[in-house]
């Protein structure tokens, strides 16, 4: 009886050991072949696609009126009338200021009377000359006297015209600096006149971009007091580089029919120098540096597949790929250090 009990206990121990090996140790050891299970690596991905990218620079410029002039007097005279209205639009040729011209008018009247008498004398002397009553020398003296008087009248008419100060072009008049009765001279600025229907934008760019700009190209700029950007067209480019700043001066123009643009304000200018169409840009963190160059991991049928690539233009976030990737390829962007060729991958996020 005792021997039977011992045999039964031994059998029970053996069965227990077999069960433990099947249910416990088999989970740790894997299949009967002894190979370990390859873990699936979770990764984030980026799908490559054709992208249009602009290469641009930013600089600061200054707005200027299309035309600008300081209104001054050419002669020393007293102001007798002011016809301009501050801040108003004036047409070309509009009378702005009138200076005292009484003495000039009086001298013109005096010389006009003398000129009329000289004309009469010249006519009489011409008749006498034809009949031989006087010499040619005498007639020439009378004729020259009449011409001298006429020349003096013409000079005074020029001075008379200078007493009327007119607008040289159509534009917006500024604030006047004098009043009626003031004695003005050529060194005094009476007012300013600006044509602001068009606005010029002057800015400079580094010399290395001198061959990237062309007259007729479009640019955009922003102002602190406007919400939307303003478009302008490059009108002219300075032919030489400033040797002190090593920059090139550029001038663009834009319409200002609504008067929103104010000359003298600063503008933030954006210039598109180059444009790439249908190019592939990928995140910079997807690149893997190596002795052979750069490579990336592509996902093909759920497995990691390395691919060598050639890069181009780049910034802090993206890199231009010129060779090695096609549009539609899926690139791995995370867990790159854990991945080898053929590693099974699980996509947890796609950008």
Q: How far apart are CA 276 and CA 51, in angstroms?
A: 8
Q: Quote the pLDDT of residue 152.
A: 94
Output the pTM of the full model. 0.64
Question: How many distinct helices (H) and strands (E) make up the chain?
Answer: 4, 19
Tokens linked to 168: 């040289």
Q: Quote the pLDDT of residue 18.
A: 59
Q: Quote the pLDDT of residue 269.
A: 94
CB-CB contact of 203 with 73 (8 Å): no
Q: How far apart are CA 292 and CA 279, in angstroms?
A: 23
CA 76 vs CA 33, 84, 168, 283: distances in Å: 114, 20, 20, 72
pLDDT in 10s for each residue of the chain, 351 residues? 445 555 555 565 555 655 555 444 444 444 444 445 678 889 889 998 887 777 788 999 999 999 999 999 999 999 999 999 999 999 999 999 999 999 999 999 999 999 999 898 888 888 888 887 788 888 888 889 989 999 999 999 999 999 999 999 999 999 999 999 999 999 999 999 999 999 999 999 998 888 888 888 899 999 999 999 999 999 999 999 999 999 999 999 999 988 899 999 999 999 887 776 778 888 888 888 888 889 998 988 888 889 898 888 787 788 888 888 888 888 998 888 888 888 898 888 887
CA atoms within 13 A on the CB side of 210: 12
Rg (CA), the chain: 46
Q: Quote the pLDDT of residue 39.
A: 84
CA atoms within 13 A on the CB side of 279: 18
Classify residue 159 by burial, with Cβ atoms within 10 Å: 0-12, 13-18, 19+.
middle
DSSP state of 35: P
Residue (of 340, 71, 86) closest to 191 by Cα position: 71
Tell whether domain 58-66+194-275 is in CATH 2.40.30.170: yes
Element of type H or E holding 129: helix 102-131
In degrees and rounded to multiples of 5, residue 175 shows phi and psi of -85, 140
Classify residue 350 by burial, with Cβ atoms within 10 Å: 0-12, 13-18, 19+.
exposed
Q: Enter the CATH code of domain 41-52+277-350.
A: 2.40.420.20
Q: How far apart are CA 262 and CA 196, in angstroms?
A: 8
Q: How far apart are CA 176 and CA 16, in angstroms?
A: 113
Q: Quote the pLDDT of residue 21.
A: 53
Q: How far apart are CA 156 and CA 150, in angstroms?
A: 10
Q: Quote the pLDDT of residue 195.
A: 95
Q: How far apart are CA 90 and CA 96, in angstroms?
A: 9
Question: Could you tell me whether strands 41-47 and 345-350 are parallel, antiparallel, or unpaired per DSSP bridges?
Answer: parallel
> How far apart are the two ends of the chain, measured CA to CA in Å?
76
CB-CB contact of 275 with 68 (8 Å): no
């Amino acid at each position: 009886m005792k021997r039977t009990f011992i045999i039964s206990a031994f059998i029970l121990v053996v069965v227990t050991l077999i069960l433990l090996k099947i249910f416990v140790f088999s989970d740790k050891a894997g299949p009967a072949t002894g190979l370990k299970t390859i873990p699936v690596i979770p990764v984030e991905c980026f799908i490559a696609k054709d992208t249009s990218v602009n290469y641009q620079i930013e600089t600061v410029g200054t707005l200027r009126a299309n035309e600008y002039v300081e209104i001054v007097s050419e002669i020393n005279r007293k102001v007798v009338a002011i016809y301009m209205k501050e801040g108003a639009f004036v047409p070309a040729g509009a009378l702005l200021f009138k200076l005292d011209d009484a003495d000039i008018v009086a001298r013109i009247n005096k010389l006009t009377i003398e000129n009329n008498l000289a004309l009469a004398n010249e006519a009489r002397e011409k008749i006498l000359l034809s009949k031989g009553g006087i010499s040619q020398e005498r007639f020439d003296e009378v004729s020259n006297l009449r011409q001298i008087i006429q020349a003096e009248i013409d000079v005074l008419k020029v001075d008379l015209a200078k007493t009327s100060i007119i607008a040289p072009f159509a534009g917006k008049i500024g604030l006047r600096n004098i009043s009626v009765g003031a004695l003005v001279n050529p060194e005094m600025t009476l007012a300013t006149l600006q044509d602001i229907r068009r606005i010029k934008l002057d800015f400079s760019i580094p010399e290395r971009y001198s061959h990237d700009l062309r007259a007729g190209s479009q640019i955009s700029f922003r102002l602190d007091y406007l919400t939307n950007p303003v478009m302008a067209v490059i009108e002219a480019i300075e032919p030489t580089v400033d040797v002190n700043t090593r920059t090139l001066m550029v001038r663009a123009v834009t319409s200002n029919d609504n008067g929103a643009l104010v000359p003298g304000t600063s503008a933030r200018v954006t210039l598109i120098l180059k444009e790439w169409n249908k190019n592939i840009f990928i995140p910079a963190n997807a690149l893997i540096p190596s002795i052979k160059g750069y490579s990336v991991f592509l996902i093909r049928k759920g497995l990691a597949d390395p691919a060598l690539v050639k890069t181009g233009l780049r910034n802090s976030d993206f890199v231009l790929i010129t060779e090695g990737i096609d549009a539609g390829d899926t690139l791995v962007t995370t867990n790159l250090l854990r991945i080898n060729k053929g590693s099974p991958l699980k996509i947890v996020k796609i950008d």
